[in-house]
Structure 1
């Protein structure tokens, strides 16, 4: 066993010299074997070793005896020891969660506190190969997200350091043998023999059947776990590149938008991962009620031929398709009407941070698409910048007759959620001079005129 674990540590570079290593110890065979093993390495590696033990208060006197047993063994082996009592029952009630989840959350909170207190480099836990097999089998039975099928990680960030699991390369049987050979008489939790908990059910009923077909099941599944992890790491990097290039997030992280055509250029694998990554960004905690059905709805939306469609997700999130755009949003997509006077010469700042600058000019050249120049005699001052009103029309440059602003938006495939906030420049007679950034009004051009109105639009970053 020792050689297997040593090789596993070297392969994954789980420790470095002179590190502070905390060990989560329950008193059971797995954690006691790990504590003993690391204590044997302590001098060669220069470790500072500290055992952490938590009484969850779930088994009365027996729980307390487990902690005392660990304490006594630490005194015998000359290992620093820290203990705590956790009120799992109260936490379970307050958070409306199951007993095992409540115990785990409080236990890991305690571990993290000690990591910070001792500025520890590692928290070593006694999960072994059979635990890995149980975890992966449980997930195979219930989960369709490949990223969650990678099982228990060999190492992961935690607090100010790393969680490491040196025993994932060996099975339970080798740990029991190690305990016998080293005179370790661990504590036993009777609840481990009851299959009322899901993990215990798999341990008692499923794993023995699979191991009868392949005694090295734990090794195969650990190898599979590592392979999936490597693949997921690469795909996650590629997904983040897609997100950074194609997806725009609001500053408050309450909405995200992307162009469908650009998004669809990527492989389906990256598209589906991007969908889940966007949800992780938008939700503080991704709801448990979010299933593969919602993923199907997302892709149905992308491929829908309808111009404007909205679907609802849990906790108020909505997905809206508007022509070529998809937006994830928690707010209702409705406008905030505004009306702002604009002097000549003058400057006005719009709610989105854009600015409009007006001036008198003797030059009729417009220069750019963000400039409008018209005869001063063609408009009635003062000017106003406002959002649209029902029935708004304008005489569009290059067309005969007037056209409804609503129809211009439709022709230009402007998303619904943008239309109600779009700025219109109108004169004192409510004539629409410019549907800013989209269409310019068709004004009479007096070639002999030397007095022009110049309007410049500068898009904001808000």
Structure 2
């Protein structure tokens, strides 16, 4: 069976093509994409969709102008809709030109799909591309999922990106193109070995094919098996993730610790992926050490993209860098003046009033016995080494109190204290009052939410 018959059979098996649809074909004018376009044109009327050719002139070579003019004339002659764009020379980066060019191309393809309401994009990747990609990833290292290589189809924009030439070798494509007398253009940069892919193509691939003529087929088979195995592993990881997830989008440390070593790593990898973080061995190792460390019930681990992993007793989660709401004025200058409401942080107000009758402390109220030299009171951000007097004597640091109350690390910098003029801490707001003698209170400190 020649390429044309296999191609038609392959497209028929997808069930994605019919005369009522519009399909975008990415065409560079190289032999692969010109064959792809030709094969699409030769489909029977019943399954041949409306074709739109998408061509990008990267303006990286002098020949690019010739190729653009060629595809314009070709599409005009064959009555095919054409969409062309040029990558401005001013936008070419000094480094990473290949990745930037690819990003520009696929952004353009997405725009064309939206413009023509197309649900399918076709590219001309073939079996040699697949093998080259797998070899490059093996050399560079990374996660196992990256060895999937080039997928036969995958979601893209509002539809699918399909690669119908993936089963065919470059040799078979070129032979069929020559037999069919197709016209195409060679990219001379493909012959230069200063590009990693080209060195793989020219130096490794021929030796591997000579070692085993079925090399390309074997890579394709391994890729297919790996895709299936990873899909199964992914489904199981989702189940495990659901089991350890809490209602507040955090995860249970103890339930995670109950997983096997392999399961732990898979779950953490998925959590990182969901948080759009890089999945690296160092991140996985550091996170595992932190979650397994019984001596650190609370801790944080800085990650990429201004995100961090927060461990708070039996919970852990990925969070963005927290922005603590600023005080309306510097924290150490918020002075509580007798009989006046003063605005604090997070929507709180405070007022100090003389008392005539002694009432038991209520929520938001604190009875105080103050001397003139202790005035005025101030409200400021709590510091870890601040100390509060305890019942029966002695003191306890704010840090220890926050740990005892199981306040997460990310929220500790949001705590406020009331201090006297000489710096004695009277109240860790909302958590603990000083046990100094208030048997004859002369003031009441009142906190309330702003109106």
Aligned 8 A contact 1:383 1:425 in 2: yes
- Which whole-Å CA distance do the structure 1 matches of 2:398 and 2:268 have between them? 33
Spell out the pairing of 1:282-297 with structure 2 (5 A cutoff): 292-297=281-286
In structure 1, which of residues 422, 427, 451 is the aligned counterpart of residue 415 of structure 2? Answer: 422
Distance 1:385 1:174, change over 3 A: same
Aligned 8 A contact 2:121 2:160 in 1: yes
Quote the residue 1:406 is aligned against: 398
1:117-163 CA distances to partner (integer Å, 9 max, x unpaired)? 32332221111122112112211221221232222233344444432
Distance 1:222 1:128, change over 3 A: farther
1:198 offset after TM fit, Å?
A: 1.5
Distance 1:160 1:271, change over 3 A: closer
Q: SS where residue 45 of structure 1 aligns? A: coil
Q: SS where residue 160 of structure 2 aligns? A: strand
**Does 1:438 pair with 2:438?**
no
1:220 offset after TM fit, Å?
A: 0.8
- Which whole-Å CA distance do the structure 1 matches of 2:299 and 2:358 have between them? 48
Aligned 8 A contact 2:302 2:308 in 1: yes
Quote the residue 1:118 is aligned against: 116
Quote the residue 1:254 is aligned against: none
- Which whole-Å CA distance do the structure 2 matches of 1:343 and 1:12 have between them? 76
1:236 offset after TM fit, Å?
A: 7.5
1:28 offset after TM fit, Å?
A: 1.8
Aligned 8 A contact 2:21 2:118 in 1: yes
Moved more, 227-236 or 137-146: 227-236
TM-score of the aligned structures, taking structure 2 as reference length: 0.73
Quote the residue 1:273 is aligned against: 270
Moved more, 343-352 or 10-19: 343-352
In structure 1, which of residues 293, 296, 299 is the aligned counterpart of residue 288 of structure 2? Answer: 299
Moved more, 134-143 or 401-410: 401-410
Spell out the pairing of 1:15-34 with structure 2 (5 A cutoff): 15=17, 18-34=20-36
Aligned 8 A contact 1:436 1:457 in 2: no
1:219 offset after TM fit, Å?
A: 3.1
Q: SS where residue 220 of structure 2 aligns? A: helix
Quote the residue 1:44 is aligned against: 46
- Which whole-Å CA distance do the structure 2 matches of 1:300 and 1:11 have between them? 48
1:211-237 CA distances to partner (integer Å, 9 max, x unpaired)? 443342243144135325634763685
1:208 offset after TM fit, Å?
A: 3.5
Spell out the pairing of 1:74-89 with structure 2 (5 A cutoff): 74-88=75-89
1:154-178 CA distances to partner (integer Å, 9 max, x unpaired)? 3344444432212223332332343
Spell out the pairing of 1:47-446 with structure 2 (5 A cutoff): 47-60=49-62, 62-88=63-89, 90-92=90-92, 95-211=93-209, 212-213=211-212, 214-215=214-215, 216-224=217-225, 226-227=227-228, 230-231=231-232, 234=235, 245=246, 260-261=253-254, 264=257, 267-278=264-275, 280=276, 292-304=281-293, 307=296, 330=321, 338=331, 351-352=345-346, 371=363, 386-388=380-382, 392-396=386-390, 399-406=391-398, 408-409=400-401, 412=404, 414=407, 417-424=410-417, 434-442=427-435
Aligned 8 A contact 2:24 2:120 in 1: yes
The number of aligned residues is: 430
Aligned 8 A contact 1:134 1:199 in 2: yes
Aligned 8 A contact 2:365 2:445 in 1: yes
- Which whole-Å CA distance do the structure 2 matches of 1:22 and 1:67 have between them? 17
Aligned 8 A contact 1:169 1:222 in 2: no
1:331 offset after TM fit, Å?
A: 7.1
1:81 offset after TM fit, Å?
A: 2.5
- Which whole-Å CA distance do the structure 2 matches of 1:40 and 1:362 have between them? 96
Distance 1:24 1:311, change over 3 A: same
Q: SS where residue 52 of structure 2 aligns? A: strand
1:65-123 CA distances to partner (integer Å, 9 max, x unpaired)? 333333333344332223344345x433xx33234334323333333332333233222
1:391 offset after TM fit, Å?
A: 6.9
Name stretches of at least 5 consecutive residues in structure 1 with no aligned partner.
249-256
1:425 offset after TM fit, Å?
A: 5.3
- Which whole-Å CA distance do the structure 1 matches of 2:246 and 2:351 have between them? 32
Moved more, 324-333 or 169-178: 324-333
Distance 1:316 1:32, change over 3 A: same
Q: SS where residue 166 of structure 1 aligns? A: coil
1:321 offset after TM fit, Å?
A: 6.5
Aligned 8 A contact 1:334 1:417 in 2: no
